[in-house]
């Protein structure tokens, strides 16, 4: 079974900083092994741009997976070619091997048919369990489906089912919380969610653009001046019966650096020399009030510069509040997922998506190439 997984995990040398994506694929790998399949794992790590980069070897991933499975996972030094075909040909039922980083080949990101055919030659069936790459039309996500019978893995199926239900038949009331730095990167998902949710809370630096669009002075905060008209149009959209909620207060400082003096102010009293770097406690309380009684809460993107304390407190407080909620809680976006994992709250959420850009594009209502290719196949 040629199995595409998304093991694009953060590395520090050979040390894996967060193995969540590896652990999330265990049900699919174990299911294939239980069916006596010979499992050939394909993944990418980082952006090596078609050249071998020692920092992005998949060797540590094979080692960690071996520990999690409790059985050896052989690492191969490439992902195509006669030597790889010979190694795969020697596998026994239930064996697992991991190919080298598929992005060491330019043919991967170019979805080159020749490269896709070489990959496909390694298996008899293609299993795509890499939801996090479903928005990429690459050889290992789309190209191989032209040459092999193709199916979704258990993780991919769960992501599609959960996010698909939120898009088509969600529990009500449905609340969305959207954070992050820029409206320009999330305009699609904001418009899409405003058509579907009952209430939409906006945090992160993108809220500064909304607040400035309402006439407030945001000091030295990140504001997308070219998106002010967009913000005004989105603020007008809830007249159709939805509610858009903006921050009430903010944590401000000169810069997002450890140890820099910070204070909490009302959003209409941001000092001209300071930046908004997090939401304040009144905002968190307001957002949690909005989420109280919700059927489901979809949250994408942190509320502040969570990597730098104390600007992580808004994200932390909202996560702690939602972890005790009766609502179905759906967490998405790479930065937010990392924050929730770091807080050890992921297990208290209903669903934590493994996708970053893929989750955003799915919530926009876009057709993801990796999913479309499975349906076509």
35-to-75, 95, 252, 298 alpha-carbon distances in Å: 22, 11, 56, 35
Q: Cβ neighbours of residue 310 under 8 Å, at least 6 residues apart?
A: 251, 262, 278
Catalytic residue flag (residue 182): yes
Catalytic annotation, pick one of 4, 21, 38, 103 = 21
Q: How far apart are CA 87 and CA 80, in angstroms?
A: 11
Residue 304 CB coordination number (10 Å): 26
Catalytic annotation, pick one of 143, 334, 355, 370 = 334
Q: Left (φ > 0), alpha (ψ -120 to 50) or beta: where does 94 sit?
A: left
Q: What are phi and psi of 312, to 5 degrees?
A: -100, -5
Catalytic annotation, pick one of 110, 117, 165, 182 = 182
Chain mean position to CA 153: 18
Q: How far apart are CA 311 and CA 217, in angstroms?
A: 20
Q: Confirm if 250 and 265 have CB atoms less than 8 A apart.
A: yes
CA atoms lying within 13 Å on the CB side of residue 210: 28
Q: How far apart are CA 337 and CA 300, in angstroms?
A: 9
Catalytic annotation, pick one of 50, 94, 321, 357 = 357
Beta bridge partners of 275: 253
**Helix H or strand E segment including 364:** helix 357-364
Q: How far apart are CA 152 and CA 160, in angstroms?
A: 10
Q: How many residues make up the chain in this entry?
A: 377
Token pair recorded at residue 264:
């909490």
Q: How far apart are CA 343 and CA 337, in angstroms?
A: 10
Catalytic residue flag (residue 143): no
Catalytically active residues, by annotation: 21, 182, 334, 357
């Amino acid at each position: 079974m040629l199995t595409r997984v998304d093991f694009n995990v953060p590395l520090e040398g050979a040390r894996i900083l967060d193995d969540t994506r590896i652990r999330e694929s265990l049900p699919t790998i174990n299911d294939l092994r239980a069916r006596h399949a010979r499992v050939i794992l394909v993944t990418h790590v980082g952006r090596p741009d078609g050249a071998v980069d020692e920092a992005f070897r998949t060797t540590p991933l094979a080692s960690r997976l071996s520990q999690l499975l409790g059985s050896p996972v052989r690492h191969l030094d490439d992902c195509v070619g006669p030597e790889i075909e010979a190694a795969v040909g020697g596998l026994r039922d239930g064996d697992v091997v991991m190919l080298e980083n598929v992005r060491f080949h330019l043919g991967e990101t170019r979805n080159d048919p020749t490269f896709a055919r070489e990959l496909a030659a390694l298996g008899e069936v293609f299993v795509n369990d890499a939801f996090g790459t479903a928005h990429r039309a690459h050889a290992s996500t789309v190209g191989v489906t032209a040459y092999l019978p193709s199916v979704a893995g258990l993780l991919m199926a769960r992501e599609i089912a959960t996010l698909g239900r939120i898009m088509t038949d969600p529990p009500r009331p449905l609340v969305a919380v959207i954070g992050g730095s820029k409206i320009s990167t999330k305009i699609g998902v904001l418009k899409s969610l405003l058509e579907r949710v009952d209430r939409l809370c906006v945090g992160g630096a993108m809220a500064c653009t909304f607040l400035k669009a309402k006439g407030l002075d945001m000091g030295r905060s990140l504001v997308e001046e070219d998106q002010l008209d967009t913000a005004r149009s989105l603020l007008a959209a809830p007249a159709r019966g939805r509610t858009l909620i903006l921050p009430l207060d903010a944590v401000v400082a000169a810069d997002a650096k450890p140890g820099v003096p910070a204070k909490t102010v009302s959003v209409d009293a941001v000092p001209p020399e300071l930046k908004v770097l997090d939401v304040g406690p009144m905002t968190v309380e307001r957002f949690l009030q909005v989420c109280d009684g919700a059927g489901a809460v979809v949250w994408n993107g942190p509320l502040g510069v969570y990597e730098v304390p104390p600007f992580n407190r808004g994200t932390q407080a909202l996560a702690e509040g939602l972890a005790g909620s009766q609502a179905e809680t759906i967490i998405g976006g790479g930065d937010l997922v990392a924050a929730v994992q770091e807080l050890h709250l992921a297990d208290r959420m209903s669903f934590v998506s493994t996708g970053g850009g893929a989750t955003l594009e799915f919530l926009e209502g876009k057709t993801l190439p990796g999913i479309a290719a499975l349906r076509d196949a």
